[in-house]
Amino acid sequence: MHIRSLAVFVAALTTLSCISDDEKEPTSSNTDAVAPTSDAAPDGPRMLPDGFIPPPDEDAAPTPTEDSTPPAPMEPDSAAPPRLDASMDPVEDAAPSPVVDAAPRPIGPLPPGCVIVGEGCDPNPPHNDPVGQICANDGQDDEAYCTYDRQGRMVCAHMEGGGQCESAPPPDGPGPDPDPEPVPDGPGDLMISALEMDDPLSRFFARQITVFGIRVVATAQVPAAKVTHAAHIMAEYLDNDEDGQVDDPPVVQAMIRRRALLVMFASSNELENSGIFEGNVIDGFHAQDLQGDETNVPGRFDAALEEVLHLISTAGYEQVYPQALGSRAGTLLANAMDQARGGRFERIPNPYPEGAWYHYNDRTCDYRCMAVEYFYWALTTLLGAQNDPARCREISREWELCTAEQLRDGDPAVHTLLTDPAYNLPTRLPDGRYTP
């Protein structure tokens, strides 16, 4: 439905994220493709990011080069209402990274050929820089990334021939986050409570539920049953076996660190008229919106399955597994998507190549946004959310694989990725009834 990669939510106040399934218009712009890559570097060490996690935006692979062709103008009536999706690049990515001229020096403890260009990475608050974040020479052959050496220092480095150095975890921890956020012992009571008057979010939201330390906030116009439903969907994604404990603590730690926030308005009209885009209340949050009128509506697909997953994937999985589940070009996920789209496209092709089974056509959705949407389509298909014949016909203009068997046979790359137990991904589709 919508999403793109965000971090410090300020960017979301000025940029539209991807359009919902029911709001898309076909595009007329042409684009050049890069042949899809079938082989990708193995996933890097687990890490607690921040971006939407440790700090904003931390995928390990570089962003694809922008196409020089200007986008076709959008028709006035095709514009989608703004969303607070966690689908935009963090503010840090809004400005180009500084070019470092200092002579590189060997990193020593890391692989041969890895050189340090600076020490401009800080994994501690308020920076929360994650492994894989571009830290120097953005877009250049010697583009550098935040990485850990084996002494536990976070440095800015790159391989002599280009690319990211293999990162080592700090000596006293399982991942690169030296001070991980504690994960609550249990999901909480999942009961609705009022926001405190001194909470800045109370300016827009009246009620909340906290799920494993992650807040779901809603306006007074959102029915309590819908807020509870969204919270239960989140709990089921995070604790898929419903044993009362999260399945992958580093993912939840990353979300807490990034201040992941699910915000609920009654409708897109309430969101647009709320004034939230004119203020700075959400600054610093990794926010994703979900509207009440698209949540658990009889006879319609439940948007909570999508929007809650977008928040978890961008603020959680992408931060902890940047080389596998990151949205930048070159990750295992992005490489699989390039095959599904028939090539690596910076801009939406018109038409998509024959044989493509993923043909997203929202012009406001950039490459990384496309990857986040692809993750949603693939995982929910694997879990059985798209297998109803009527639903399959409805989504065919964007996604053609409707069953787990079709995903296995038609997109083996992403099927292999999503079923790899190393990533602790859900194996059961949430139904909104979390019963630990």
The pLDDT tens digits for 170-197 are 433 334 454 566 778 778 789 999 999 9
The band of 15, judged by pLDDT with boundaries at 50, 70 and 90, is: very low
So what's the pLDDT on residue 152?
65
Tokens of 312: 């978890």
Cα(186)–Cα(164) distance, integer angstroms: 37
Extended strands (E) in 33-152:
33-34, 105-106, 114-118, 134-136, 144-148
First to last CA, the chain: 29
Mean pLDDT over 335-352 rounds to: 94
Lowest-confidence pick of 26-30, 141-145, 249-253, 299-303 = 26-30
Measured in degrees and rounded to the nearest 5, phi and psi for residue 399 equal: -145, 130
Cα(238)–Cα(182) distance, integer angstroms: 15
So what's the pLDDT on residue 3?
40
Of residues 436, 399, 418, the one with CA closest to residue 43 = 418
Tokens of 249: 């603590």
Q: Is 382 helix (H, G, I), strand (E, B) or coil?
A: helix
Q: What would you report as the CA-atom Rg of the chain, rounded to the nearest whole angstrom?
A: 21
pTM, whole model, 2 decimals? 0.66
The band of 223, judged by pLDDT with boundaries at 50, 70 and 90, is: very high
Label residue 293 left, alpha or beta by phi (over 0 means left) and psi (-120 to 50 means alpha).
Answer: alpha
390 in Cβ contact with 43 (< 8 Å): no
What is the DSSP code string of 313-366? IIIIIHHHSHHHH-SSTTSHHHHHHHHHHTSEESS--SSPPTT-SB----TT--
Q: Is 369 helix (H, G, I), strand (E, B) or coil?
A: helix
What is the DSSP code string of 215-250? EEEE-TTS-HHHHHHHHHHHHHHHTTT-SSS-S-HH
So what's the pLDDT on residue 117?
86
So what's the pLDDT on residue 171?
37
Of residues 95, 119, 91, the one with CA closest to residue 105 = 119
Q: pLDDT tens-digit profile of 118-141? A: 877 877 655 667 777 788 887 777
The band of 228, judged by pLDDT with boundaries at 50, 70 and 90, is: very high
Output the furthest CA–CA distance in the chain (Å, rounded): 63
246 in Cβ contact with 239 (< 8 Å): yes
Mean pLDDT over 319-331 rounds to: 93
So what's the pLDDT on residue 44?
34
